[in-house]
Amino acid sequence: MQNIIGFHYTLKDKNGEIMDSSRGRPPMLILTGAQQIVPGLEKEIIGMKKGDTKTVIVAAKDAYGPVQEQLMMTVQRSQFPPEADLTVGVQFRVNNDDQQGIFTIAKIDGDNIHIDGNHPMAGKELHFDIEITEKRMPSPDELAHGHAHGPGGAHH
Ligand SMILES: [Zn+2]
């Protein structure tokens, strides 16, 4: 059975450094079973009730997966269009026969541009401080759309 679950989260890496938080924003609102959050987190929060708090530790394999070496590449500056913004941190979409996905410019070394197609959180163990703020049945519309409606969910 699918549920709507609202929750606040603070995401830390394993050294306790905060990477993201919903505090100060509406809680995140998800429809369970719709692959809206990493599977290792959903598995834990589906058993929690409104008002429950918990620290959930999700291994990299249950979050964004391991770092894939083959997604870290060096390409020549001349392979980019002349108008491209070649700055560390810039993201661009690649869509060709060999690769597709979002790549980030990781390092620039003269004409060698090091790019990385891994998710920024790939290879990281994630620590979530969770507080459940809402738990209810989905409406027929929410089930049909495959997402939650309202603050923190979809607006339309
Ligand atoms: Zn909708």
Centre of ligand 1 from the C-alpha of residue 143, in Å: 9
Q: Does residue 150 sit within a domain?
A: no
Q: How far is 10 from 27, CA to CA, in rounded Å?
A: 11
Distance of CA 136 to the CA centre of its chain: 24
Q: Same structural domain for residues 52 and 25?
A: yes
Q: What distance in angstroms lies between residue 55's CA and the mean position of ligand 1's atoms?
A: 30
Q: What is the distance in A from the centroid of ligand 1 to the CA of 129?
A: 27
Residue 83 resides in a domain: yes
Same-domain status, 8 and 47 = yes
CATH number at residue 19: 3.10.50.40
Spatial separation of the C-alpha atoms in residues 28 and 21, rounded to whole Å: 10
pLDDT band at 100 (very low <50, low <70, confident <90, very high): confident
How far does the centroid of ligand 1 lie from the alpha carbon of residue 4, in Å? Answer: 13
What is the chain's mean pLDDT, rounded? 94
Clarify whether residues 9 and 58 are in a common domain.
yes
For residue 94, what is the domain's CATH number? 2.40.10.330
Determine the Cα–Cα distance for residues 150 and 156; give it in Å rounded to an integer: 9
* Predicted confidence band of residue 21 (pLDDT cuts 50, 70, 90): very high
Q: What is the pLDDT of residues 30-76, one digit of tens each?
A: 999 999 999 999 999 999 999 999 999 999 999 989 999 999 999 99
> Measured in angstroms, how far is the CA atom of residue 155 from the centroid of ligand 1?
7
Task: Tell the burial category of 129 from Cβ atoms under 10 Å away from its Cβ (0-12, 13-18, 19+).
Answer: middle
Span from the CA of 2 to the centroid of ligand 1 (angstroms):
15
The number of domains in the chain is: 2
The reported pLDDT for the residue numbered 132 is 98
Q: Is residue 155 part of a domain?
A: no
What pLDDT does residue 120 have?
A: 85
User: Which pLDDT score is estimated for 105?
Assistant: 96
Do 97 and 24 fall within a single domain? no
Please check whether residue 100 lies inside any domain of the structure.
Answer: yes
Residue range(s) defining the domain that contains residue 10: 4-62+122-145
Lateral strand order in the sheet of 100-109: 72-76, 112-116, 100-109, 91-95
Same domain, 106 and 127: no
The pLDDT assigned to 37 comes to: 94
Task: Give me ligand 1 centre to Cα 153, in Å.
Answer: 9
Show Cβ contacts of residue 126 under 8 Å, excluding neighbours closer than 6 positions. 11, 12, 13, 38, 40, 41, 57, 58, 60, 63
pLDDT band at 155 (very low <50, low <70, confident <90, very high): confident
pLDDT (0 to 100) of residue 1: 86
Å from CA of 138 to ligand 1 middle: 11
Q: Residue 108: helix, strand or coil by DSSP?
A: strand
| Cα–ligand 1 centroid distance for 71 (angstroms) | 34
